[in-house]
Chains A and B, each alone.
Chain A
Amino acid sequence: MGELLRTEKVRKYFGVVSAADDIDLQIGEGVLTSIIGPNGAGKTTLINLLTGNVLVDSGKIFFYNEEITHLPIHKRVKKGICRSFQIMNIFPKLSVFENLQIPVLSLLNQSLSFFKPLRRHTDVNERVEKLLNEIGLTDKKDLAAGTLSHGDQRLLEIGLAMAPEPKLLFLDEPTAGMNPVERVKVLENIRRLSKEKQSTFVIVEHDMDIVFSLSDRIIVLHRGQILADGKPDEIKQNEDVRKVYLGEEIFWEKV
């Protein structure tokens, strides 16, 4: 199992608040990793730093041993890093089909084609159909994305993140606000794709049931630092983690 991504002393401060405090981290290929931590621990900031939404104050990030610290977002995507957002980020006025066409066109390097009508890009449209099938939105493909239910919009968001076929995919609270049925659908998708080794997933999640049943590895963040890092069983036993989550003791008992 090779190393996919590595950070060296990555640091980001917002004023005096440390969102990432000299984080050293490695993510291995095919290891389904979850990032957990209390609110404000720096989970989303860490994803922002790794995907290029926010630039680091200091430190370095490597992807396949190549430094990507200062690369803009779109170049990181082309190298194989993509993400979904915690706050909904889709194209509300475009149809579901068109939503997915945008990243697929980019993947197949056809975004700059400016004269040939969209419907004649058959290879693109076939791939979009396949993606629609995977996320289960085939029957809603002609609806404007903004009119979908919250759960369906989340599914579309994940579809958009998967469309560039990234090697490494960050999902920021992928199941937030979903009903149990949709939740299972999404998790099955993640599990299946992870098994097929198409992508390596890194998930930020609050639902401990999901985290402990799904992950190969769990990273616990607290105040911009890695508090604990290991297999689910190890994390469950960890005293520091228990302290941080003291208020949620009951939750832990259940797990």
Chain B
Amino acid sequence: MRLKTFLLGALILFLLALPSFAGKYLLYMTIHILLLSVFALGFNLLLGYTGLLSFGQAGFFAVGAYASAKILLVIPSLLMGTIAGVVAGGIAALILGYLCVRHSRIYFSMLTLCFGMMIYSIAWKWRDVTGGDDGLVGIPRAPFEIPGIFSIDMNSMGNYYYFVLVVSLIAIFILYRIVNSPFGLTLKGIRDSENRVAFAGISIRNYRLLSFTIAGLYAGLAGSFLPPLENTVTPPLAHWTHSAEPVMVTLLGGIHTFSGPIVGTILFYLIKDIIVRFTQYWLIWFGSIVVLLVLVFRGGVVIFFTEKIWPLLKRT
């Protein structure tokens, strides 16, 4: 336990010190890692804790990204953009989730896939609002400010990195508290045996909807990080292939551990970054490696290390 706290502290210190020695590219990559971590952690609240596999999370990610972009184009305030992204992602998840959570297993997955693609086609066709296939361009990286109190310029990559880091850490901490709370335990119960939870006097549907909405809030938050970073948002963000990213990294890291999605995300970017240096057909290689890792590390990389490697090290 003490070792775990020490490692966590060291990691956070490392992340805080990163801009002092890292170049722009590494910071850019780390922002992407944080972004996908938040996205995948929210997704895993559904998969690992509630037992629902959603293929439509990119839809809520895109809603968050577009909402944040729209706000930033009108009001140059980073905080407003982030809040808009979170709220929009949550509301979209609440509405569509209401229709999805009456089903489970494959039926739920197919419904989320459909609704996700519906958001994709809206982003594609509703030219007046979304800019169609051009997307929204020229989104400013607005300063982080509360008028009259303080204002921090975000033009340097380092400052924006700190913003994303702090917001992500807060979000991750809150989610950690959620999964270790009574609500989190009840979700795990729903995953293992719906009927038994119903006979504890709990409305399965409402709890699933709440879990779905929280996942939507996290997808929206992750989405809101993107426009200020890339200065543009485009419809492929909502495509189902983008929904596969959190699925993949979560399976890689492990669905039954809290840190699984984070570890999976780091591996994802490491592998991707190395392969693209050698070949443009990186997806083929990447796919093969993921298949291999999932086969070798059953239950995910994290479980493999905590249950197989760690006891070995302890003994010697």
Contact = CB atoms under 8 A, between A and B. Distances in A.
B316 interface: no
B107 interface: no
A141 to B, nearest CB: 15
A164 B193 contact: no
Given A82-B199, A89-B196, A91-B196, A121 B204 contact: no
A120 B112 CA distance: 36
Interface stretch (B143-151, B162-170, B179-187): B179-187
A158 interface: no
B182 A112 contact: yes
A94 interface: yes
Contact of B199 (A92, A105, A114, A164): A164
Contacts of A164: 199-201
A161 B199 contact: yes
A111 B202 contact: yes
For the complex, would chain B's binding face be called helix, strand, loop or mixed by DSSP majority?
helix
A73 B182 contact: no
A77 B192 contact: no
A94 B51 CA distance: 14
A90 B196 CA distance: 7
A14 interface: no
A115 B198 contact: no
Q: List 3 tightest A-B contacts by C-beta distance, closest first.
A: A103-B200, A77-B201, A114-B183
B208 interface: no
Given A110-B182, A118-B185, A89 B201 contact: no
Interface in B87-127: none
Interface of A: 51, 53, 72-74, 77-78, 82-83, 85, 89-94, 98, 101-103, 105-107, 110-118, 121, 124, 160-161, 163-164
A106 B188 contact: no
B155 interface: no
Interface residues of B, number: 25
B185 A113 contact: no
Given A111-B183, A112-B182, A102 B189 contact: yes
A114 B181 contact: yes
Given A102-B200, A111-B183, A89 B188 contact: no
Nearest to B183: A114
A111 B199 CA distance: 14
B270 interface: no
B184 A114 contact: yes
B181 A117 contact: yes
B181 A89 contact: no
B177 interface: yes
B143 to A, nearest CB: 31
A106 B206 CA distance: 14
Nearest to A84: B199
A127 B202 CA distance: 18
Contact of B185 (A74, A83, A105): A105
Contact of A94 (B177, B188, B204): B188
B197 interface: yes
B181 A116 contact: yes
B291 interface: no
Contacts of A121: 182
A103 B177 contact: no
A106 B201 CA distance: 6
Instruction: Name the residue in B185, B193, B199, B203 with the highest tally of chain A Cβ atoms < 10 Å from its Cβ.
Output: B199
A112 B193 CA distance: 18
A155 to B, nearest CB: 15
B199 A113 contact: no
A78 B201 contact: yes
A207 B184 CA distance: 40
Nearest to A120: B181
B181 A74 contact: no
Contacts of A90: 193, 196
A117 B200 contact: no
B203 to A, nearest CB: 5
Instruction: Name the residue in B185, B189, B204 with the highest tally of chain A Cβ atoms < 10 Å from its Cβ.
Output: B189
A74 B182 contact: no
Given A105-B186, A106-B201, A118 B181 contact: yes
